[in-house]
Amino acid sequence: MIFVTGGAGYIGSHTCVELLNAGHQVTVFDNFSNSQPEALRRIERITGKQLQVIEGDIRNPAELKTALQTSGAQAVIHFAGLKAVGESEQQPLRYYENNVQGTLTLLQAMQSCAVKTIVFSSSATVYGIPQFLPYTEAHPLSATNTYGQTKLTVERMLQDLYRSDATWRIGILRYFNPVGAHASGLIGEDPQGLPNNLMPFVAQVAVGRREFLNVWGNDYDTPDGTGVRDYIHVVDLALGHLAALNRLQAQPQCMTVNLGTGIGYSVLDMVRAFEQACGKPIAFQFSPRRAGDIASYCADPKLAAEHTWRWQSQNPQGYSISH
């Protein structure tokens, strides 16, 4: 049984689909602060399989402990948290409470229930200002905002935990920019209010919910002057969690892995690609740079690729034929 905190959210819902498709049983634990229970019904429709759903908050130790025990959880994939960079600067304590205290409470509950496998959603934001590109996992870490600081703090907490008890199995996944949606069109990203991120904003312009996109800066040192990022399809990201679970199952460890493609695209590249996909022009205007933005970055995805290759080459038929 895989226990998925934040499983009703954007990345969590896509990961639940892949977990169910791969034959896992799944319990979603979510307080629906940034998602809708409808997403869970859609997951069941896509997969034709049932999920167990527990409405609860990762800041509540009693709820968590009961949920871990009653579900029979063997491993946790931990998506639950708050993720808006600007909001984290306005409400730092709320971010520390949800992201840091919530994760601490989760780890304590896991420890007391002897569940010692966790995959954690970290972010490329922990690399801070690039000292070299592409970012390898060994790039120095720093935070330029409160959200990033909460991710960095949790990463350190997980590493300290593993140092104290090497029977834990911990996967820290540093996501680059997740985009896209499941091919069925039944689940996707549904931000509340004004989207902060590029692709949900572009999508809302395309359907007429917003008049135009502000392109934040066209004077960066990039091929067309707009910001360059490493966009990874959310289903590929979801599959990265299954690969991480497989690797953790093989042996206890604390591993940190980038999940990106290694290829950078500009804001205008993304707008043009979306125009082609939807067959409509996307209105945009150039606006001043957004505070805190970096011109360009992308992942070095070699480690994730090597892990996948090592797993697949040693287990060509997956678990179905043991060696």
Binder to ligand UFG among 46, 110, 115, 124 (CB under 6 A)? Answer: 124
What's the CA gap between 66 and 72, in Å, rounded?
10
Count of residues touching ligand NAD (by CB under 6 A) = 28
Binder to ligand NAD among 2, 3, 4, 12 (CB under 6 A)? Answer: 12
Say whether residue 123 binds ligand NAD (CB under 6 A): yes
Residue 228 Cβ vs ligand NAD, minimum distance, rounded to whole Å: 16
Say whether residue 297 binds ligand NAD (CB under 6 A): no
Tokens 């994939």 belong to residue: 77
**Largest Cα–Cα distance of the chain, in whole Å?**
58
Map residue 259 onto helix, strand or coil: strand
CA angle in degrees (0–180, nearest 5) for 14-176-6 = 35
Catalytic residue among 147, 162, 220, 297: 147
Say whether residue 76 binds ligand NAD (CB under 6 A): no
Say whether residue 274 binds ligand UFG (CB under 6 A): no
Residue 315 Cβ vs ligand NAD, minimum distance, rounded to whole Å: 28
User: Phi, psi at residue 78, to the nearest 5°?
Assistant: -110, 95
Residue 166 Cβ vs ligand NAD, minimum distance, rounded to whole Å: 25
Element (H, E) at 18: helix 10-21
10 has catalytic annotation: no
Residue 319 Cβ vs ligand NAD, minimum distance, rounded to whole Å: 27
User: Phi, psi at residue 147, to the nearest 5°?
Assistant: -55, -50
Cα distances (angstroms) measured from residue 247 to each of 22, 49, 80, 172, 236: 15, 25, 22, 12, 16
Q: What is the DSSP string of 162-190?
A: HHH-TT-EEEEEEE-EEE---TTSSS---
Segment interacting with ligand NAD (CB under 6 A) among 4-12, 159-167, 211-219, 220-228: 4-12
At 59, which amino acid appears? R
Say whether residue 31 binds ligand NAD (CB under 6 A): yes
Binders of ligand NAD among 53-72, rule CB under 6 A? 57-59
Say whether residue 102 binds ligand NAD (CB under 6 A): yes
Say whether residue 196 binds ligand UFG (CB under 6 A): yes
Residue 120: name its binding partner from ligand NAD, ligand UFG, none (Cβ under 5 to 8 Å by kind).
none
Check whether the bond before 61 is cis (ω within 30° of 0): no
Q: Which residues bind ligand NAD (CB under 6 A)?
A: 5-6, 8-12, 30-35, 57-59, 79-83, 98, 102, 121, 123, 175, 177-178
Where in the sequence numbering do the catalytic residues fall?
Answer: 147
